[in-house]
Structure 1
Amino acid sequence: MLRNRLLKGAVVLSVGVLAITGCTNKNDAAASGDEGGKTTVAFVPKLQGIPYFEAMNEGGKQAAEELGIEWLYQGPTTADAAAQADIVRSFIQQKVDTLIVAPNDPDSMAPLLKQAQDAGIKVATADTDAPNSVRQVFVNQTTEENHGKALNESLMKAMGGSGDFAIVSCSETAANLNAYIDVIKEDMETNYKGVKLVDLVYAGEDQSKAAAMATDLMNAHPNLKGIVGLCSAAAPGVAQAVKDAGKIGEVFTVGGGTPMSMAPYLKDGSASASVLWDVQNLGYLTAWTGNELAEEKTLRASFDVNEKIKGVSYDATSKVELLGPPLVFTKENVDQFKY
């Protein structure tokens, strides 16, 4: 009888241990923000709701479906560094596997990326870098030099290689936009002696504000011949301002707008070109890279992701992953792209 009681006690103890273990595993999964056991990749854009980052989100969702991971997407509703930081903190608390940010303010984001890393989360940046942070990879769309020169070439072709121009940028602290500005200035000074940059203004990620600023620029500089709308919100904004002012063919605009947002302006001539890249592919590559980091894989110097995303490069020294060269959208090819 004693032997039977001991056996029964052992069975009860074993069941209890299994129940405790099961609860612990469930709690661990819940704490990690993923109850289904999938790898969680969180992306925090500079601004949620604008066509550019929504296109990145579409690419990320496609990658998540094909890779079997969970893609989390949330950004601030205004281009506000503090609001973005709150979202990053939330993802840190959720203990996602990989956290990827397009920082509005790289310097203020750096400590948060360190906090995420200290919590055991893989960290990266995409679209916009925080080079002085602990980010493990920067998923870059194209080189600053290639993008800046492509904008210059498109603008100079429209302006005939001479005249006054202005730049309407977005965030004053966005590393990629500021790098493009530096390239534009240097390239203009070196290669286009008959061109003068008369003003540089910042509209945040606000299309209406960009349009108002472009209107002010045209009023303040009667000889203005060109405007660069540097980001996806500024590009359609400056084109709209030219259209509203009745200056199509007098003031030429180029920028970095998404194809669908720029199509009407390219077709009516208020915009001459839009220089960008395949934004959905950038979103796909961002999610794919997040999964690679979570699985602690080493990126190769050159590789293909799939049939659509080929020739991606990675520099181990700078930890920059490069999608490829920029695309120039014009009235002839813009309808080929549905984002």
Structure 2
Amino acid sequence: MFKKPLLALAALVTVGALALTGCTNKNAEPSASGGSSDGPTIAFVPKLQGIPYFEAMNAGGEAAAADLGFTWLYQGPTTADAAAQADIVRSFIQQKVDALIVAPNDPDSMAPLLKQAQDAGITVLTSDTDAPNSVREVFVNQTTEENHGKAIATSLMDAMGGSGEYAIVSCVETAANLNAYIDVIKKEIGDNYPDAKLVDLVYAGEDQAKAASMATDLMNAHPNLKGIIGLCSAAAPGVAQAVKDAGKIGQVFTVGGGTPMSMAPYLKDGSSSASVLWDVQNLGYLTAWTGLQLVDGKTLEPSFDVNDTITGVTFDADTKIELLGPPLIFTKDNVDQFNY
């Protein structure tokens, strides 16, 4: 994984976050970096531009472009809005990019647009979140739904002592990967922790402040609430902040899927017990690298290494799913090893 300090990335994340709070447009301006003007153009449309998670993916894509010699375009909506995301996809189709990679907010509504892109001769992929009923040629998956859901469930139950009421604050209600994680979490806890009970499931979009507000409401509505899962990178710090603000550190335990830099303060003060994620920069690099392979007409092997830091990647030709690897669990003891 990328462990060397990346000062430029920290600046990028800060600028992206400021841009998000100050922008009134639905869509941010596209950014282009890395590579050669003579190489192919690969565009990535995240669910939401300006949050640390997707800025880290963008940094990985930029690194791949610089290493391998292609143009990397990055543009997403400034709110988790499927319609705004669709407008960006249409724009990239009109630009006739060589490869179009999307992390769809609404996989079903995105599928017809991916077909349009393919019909226009564009190589089409998904990353981070799949559109399984679309024509995408590869889904670059960060981890398996089973492994990720189990890691979150186990982390929460370890913090809660295996019993008590818990709630889930998810993000986009239509996100296929998040919904799959929820199913695994429910089953894992239901099968193995009979004294634990799910009392509520709410959706905050990709909005950290809304996640914090919802977590506060959950604690007020359920006085015996003992645990909260903040399922995505926006919800995880939001629910931890709510516990901290409520003065309930050590009483209400949180886990989630936040990036290391965003979760470090909460892991260190105990308002979050663990953050279950993956190396997001590596996911961005793998996403861009895979787009280039397909544009160049190369075949993905069942198992391969991309470079010295991205190893053991697998590809299932039947499902067309490429897998980065197992999840990483960030705690107060290891969080400072990561710089995104």
CA shift, 1:35, in A, is 9.5
What CA distance in whole angstroms lies between the structure 2 residues aligned with 1:243 and 1:35? 47
Match of 1:282 in 2: 283
What CA distance in whole angstroms lies between the structure 2 residues aligned with 1:271 and 1:107? 34
Match of 2:131 in 1: 130
Match of 1:243 in 2: 244
- Unaligned regions of 5+ residues in structure 1, if any? 1-33
What CA distance in whole angstroms lies between the structure 2 residues aligned with 1:63 and 1:150? 29
Match of 2:73 in 1: 72
Contact 2:38-2:70 within 8 A present in 1 as well: no
What CA distance in whole angstroms lies between the structure 2 residues aligned with 1:206 and 1:120? 35
What CA distance in whole angstroms lies between the structure 2 residues aligned with 1:140 and 1:36? 29
What CA distance in whole angstroms lies between the structure 2 residues aligned with 1:321 and 1:223? 41
What CA distance in whole angstroms lies between the structure 2 residues aligned with 1:76 and 1:224? 34
Seq. identity, %: 81
Q: TM-score, normalised by structure 1?
A: 0.90
- Aligned counterparts, 1:130-209, within 5 A: 130-209=131-210
What CA distance in whole angstroms lies between the structure 1 residues aligned with 2:51 and 2:235? 11
Match of 1:114 in 2: 115
- State whether structure 2 residue 101 is matched by structure 1 residue 88: no
What CA distance in whole angstroms lies between the structure 2 residues aligned with 1:59 and 1:312? 16
CA shift, 1:189, in A, is 1.1
Match of 2:22 in 1: none
Match of 1:30 in 2: none
Match of 2:273 in 1: 272
SS at match of 1:196: strand
CA shift, 1:188, in A, is 1.1
Match of 2:301 in 1: 300
What CA distance in whole angstroms lies between the structure 2 residues aligned with 1:82 and 1:299? 32
SS at match of 2:227: strand
Q: Match of 2:265, as an amino acid?
A: P
SS at match of 1:254: strand
What CA distance in whole angstroms lies between the structure 1 residues aligned with 2:302 and 2:194? 38
What CA distance in whole angstroms lies between the structure 2 residues aligned with 1:336 and 1:299? 31
What CA distance in whole angstroms lies between the structure 1 residues aligned with 2:310 and 2:38? 27
SS at match of 2:78: coil
Deviations 1:125-164 (A, max 9, x none): 0000000000000000000000000001110110000000
Contact 2:57-2:281 within 8 A present in 1 as well: yes
SS at match of 1:110: helix
What CA distance in whole angstroms lies between the structure 2 residues aligned with 1:289 and 1:46? 19
What CA distance in whole angstroms lies between the structure 2 residues aligned with 1:110 and 1:120? 16
Contact 2:50-2:78 within 8 A present in 1 as well: yes
- Aligned counterparts, 1:218-237, within 5 A: 218-237=219-238
SS at match of 2:200: strand
Structure 1 consecutive aligned stretches of length 4 or more whose deviation exceeds 3 Å: none
What CA distance in whole angstroms lies between the structure 1 residues aligned with 2:297 and 2:250? 53
Q: TM-score, normalised by structure 2?
A: 0.89
Q: Match of 1:167, as an amino acid?
A: I
What CA distance in whole angstroms lies between the structure 2 residues aligned with 1:256 and 1:101? 20
CA shift, 1:37, in A, is 2.4
- Aligned counterparts, 1:35-54, within 5 A: 36-54=37-55
What CA distance in whole angstroms lies between the structure 1 residues aligned with 2:135 and 2:217? 41
Deviations 1:93-124 (A, max 9, x none): 00000000000000000000000000000000
What CA distance in whole angstroms lies between the structure 1 residues aligned with 2:105 and 2:59? 21
Deviations 1:162-202 (A, max 9, x none): 00000000000000000000000111111111110000000
Q: Match of 1:53, as an amino acid?
A: F
What CA distance in whole angstroms lies between the structure 2 residues aligned with 1:190 and 1:218? 25
Structure having the higher helix fraction is 1
What CA distance in whole angstroms lies between the structure 1 residues aligned with 2:183 and 2:61? 30
* Bigger-Rg structure (1/2): 1
What CA distance in whole angstroms lies between the structure 2 residues aligned with 1:103 and 1:317? 22
Q: Match of 2:51, as an amino acid?
A: I
Q: Match of 2:220, as an amino acid?
A: N
Q: 1:51 to 1:35 in 2, by over 3 A?
A: closer
Match of 2:106 in 1: 105
